[in-house]
Amino acid sequence: MRIAQLAPPWITVPPEGYGGTEWVVQQLCDGLTALGHEVCLYATGDSHTAAELRSLFPRQMPDQIGVTAFDSRHVSFAFADIERDAFDLVHDHSGFLGIAFSRYLATPMVHTVHCAFDQVAAGFYAQFADAVGYICISEYQRSMAPPGMRWAGIAYNAIAVEQWPYTTGKDDYLLAFGRVCEAKGFHHSIETAKRLDRRLIMAGVLQEPYRDYFEEHVEPHIDGEQIVYEGEVSDARKRELFAHAGAFLFPITWPEPFGLVMIEAMACGTPVVAMRHGSVPEVVDDGATGFVVEPDDLDAFVAAVGRVWQIDPAVCRRTVEERFTVERMVADYEAIYRRFLAR
Ligand code: UDP
C-alpha cells in the first residue's frame, strides 16, 4: 500500500521528551515500511523515520502547541501534496483539521483518536461522525464517543519493548511520571508518598495551562529529599527512572484514552498502581501487573502501594511482550487499513 501518515506539526517524530502520539506515529511508520509498504510521513523536518519524510516546518515548536495557525498550514500543505501524489490511504493523527477538511481530499482517510472525548472533542466528532474511518486506542475510549461514529477498528498503543530496561533490582522510590496536571493525579501521588513515608520522584513536562495546578498542589510539597520533582527529563533518564522505581503511581482523575506510561513501567518490570479510570483496566491486570483501585479511593490506593511486593516483575514485562508490542500494533493497523479499503 502507499500510505500517507499525517503527524501533528508541533513535536518532532519521535519526540525528544513529551509526545505519546509522536512515538506511536514513529513506530507505525517504521513498522509499515519494514513490511514493504510505501509510507510517506508528514511531520516536522527534524523528524527521523524509515518512511519518506515531507515537511513544511523545518523544526518542532512545542511552545506553540495548539496554535491553529501552525496546524492549518501543516495540514493544508500535506493535503495539497497528497492530492498531487497517488496514495491508497491517508492515516491522520493530526488533531481536528484533517477530519474537518477531509471532504476536500479524494484519497480515503482513517484517523486515530488520540484524545479523550471531553465536551469539546465529543462535539467535534459528533459533527464529523462519518467523515472518515475512526480508530480508537481503547475500548473505554470508544465507549465514550458520540453515537454514530464510523469505526474502522481498535489498535492499542505499543512500545519498542526491547528499548526499555528490565530490572528486578528496584530502588526505594515511588515514581510519578507524565504531564504535570490534575488529570494525572500528581497530588494523589504526593499524598500517598507522605502517608507511607516513602520517597517520591516526580518527572514530566509542565505545560503552561497547568501552571496554577502545579503552583498550588505540587510545588509547595517539593522538598528535594522526600518529594522530588526533576522537571522534563531526558529520554535516558526517563528509562532509568521507570526501571528502578519500586512502583509507578497512576492515580489519575480523567478518562485516560490509553496511557503509554503504564506499559513503559510494566516493560521495565515495574508494577503499576492505578485508579480505575478510562483504559486502566484494559492495560493493567489487577493483582498481576499491578493494582487497580476505585477512583478517588486514596486509602485503597495507599494500601495497594504497600502491597506491590506481591507483583512479579517478570509478569509485567511478559504482559507487554505479549500484548503491547510494535509488531502487534502495526499488524492491527495493517488489518484495519485493508478492511477499510475493501469496504
Ligand atoms: N513523556 C515524556 N516526558 C514528559 C511527559 C511524558 O517523555 O515530560 C512521554 C511518556 O513517557 C509517554 C508519553 O510522553 O511516552 C505520554 O503519553 P501518555 O499516553 O502516557 O499520556 P498523554 O500525555 O498523551 O495523556
pLDDT at 194 over 90: yes
- Domain boundaries in the chain? 2-158+325-342, 161-323
Which of 260, 280, 282 best tests ligand 1's pocket when mutated (most atoms within 8 Å of CB)?
A: 260
Beta bridge partners of 112: 135
Residue whose CA lies nearest to ligand 1 atom number 10 = 261
Residue whose CA lies nearest to ligand 1 atom number 13 = 20
DSSP 3-state of 146: coil
pLDDT at 128 over 90: yes
Topology given in CATH for the domain delimited by 2-158+325-342: Rossmann fold (3.40.50)
Does 161-323 match 2-158+325-342 at the fold level? yes
Residue whose CA lies nearest to ligand 1 atom number 3 = 18
Q: Is 98 in the pocket of ligand 1 (CB under 6 A)?
A: no
Q: Is 178 in the pocket of ligand 1 (CB under 6 A)?
A: yes
pLDDT at 139 over 90: yes
Ligand 1 mean position, distance from CA 260 (Å) = 7
Nearest to 253 by CA among 178, 339, 337: 178
pTM (2 decimals)?
0.97
For residue 168, the number of C-alpha atoms closer than 13 Å in the C-beta half-sphere is 7
Residue whose CA lies nearest to ligand 1 atom number 8 = 204
Q: Is 22 in the pocket of ligand 1 (CB under 6 A)?
A: no
Average pLDDT, the chain: 97
Question: Sign of dihedral through CA atoms 200, 204, 205, 207?
Answer: negative
Please state the atom number of ligand 1 nearest to the C-alpha of residue 235: 7
Instruction: Please tell me the predicted confidence (pLDDT) of residue 188.
Output: 98
CA R_g for the chain: 20
Q: Is 239 in the pocket of ligand 1 (CB under 6 A)?
A: no
pLDDT at 27 over 90: yes
pLDDT band for 198, please (50, 70, 90 cuts): very high
Strand spans (E) along the chain: 2-6, 38-42, 52-54, 89-92, 109-112, 133-136, 151-154, 173-177, 199-203, 227-229, 247-250, 272-275, 290-293
CATH of segment(s) 161-323: 3.40.50.2000
d(CA 135, CA 24): 13
Please state the atom number of ligand 1 nearest to the C-alpha of residue 157: 19
Using the 8-state DSSP alphabet, how is residue 19 labeled? -
% of the chain beyond a pLDDT of 70: 100
Over range 169-185, report the average pLDDT.
97
Is residue 186 within 8 Å of residue 202, measured between CB atoms?
Answer: yes
Instruction: Please tell me the predicted confidence (pLDDT) of residue 169.
Output: 92
- Vertex 276 angle, CA 223 and 128, to 5°: 110
Q: Is 271 in the pocket of ligand 1 (CB under 6 A)?
A: no
Is residue 143 within 8 Å of residue 165, measured between CB atoms?
Answer: no
pLDDT band for 66, please (50, 70, 90 cuts): confident
Q: Is 290 in the pocket of ligand 1 (CB under 6 A)?
A: no
Grid cell digits, residue 13: 517524530
pLDDT digits (tens, 9 = 90+) for 222-269: 999 999 999 999 999 999 999 999 999 999 999 999 999 999 999 999
d(CA 309, CA 246): 9
Residue whose CA lies nearest to ligand 1 atom number 11 = 261
Question: Sign of dihedral through CA atoms 155, 159, 160, 165?
Answer: negative
Ligand 1 mean position, distance from CA 231 (Å) = 13
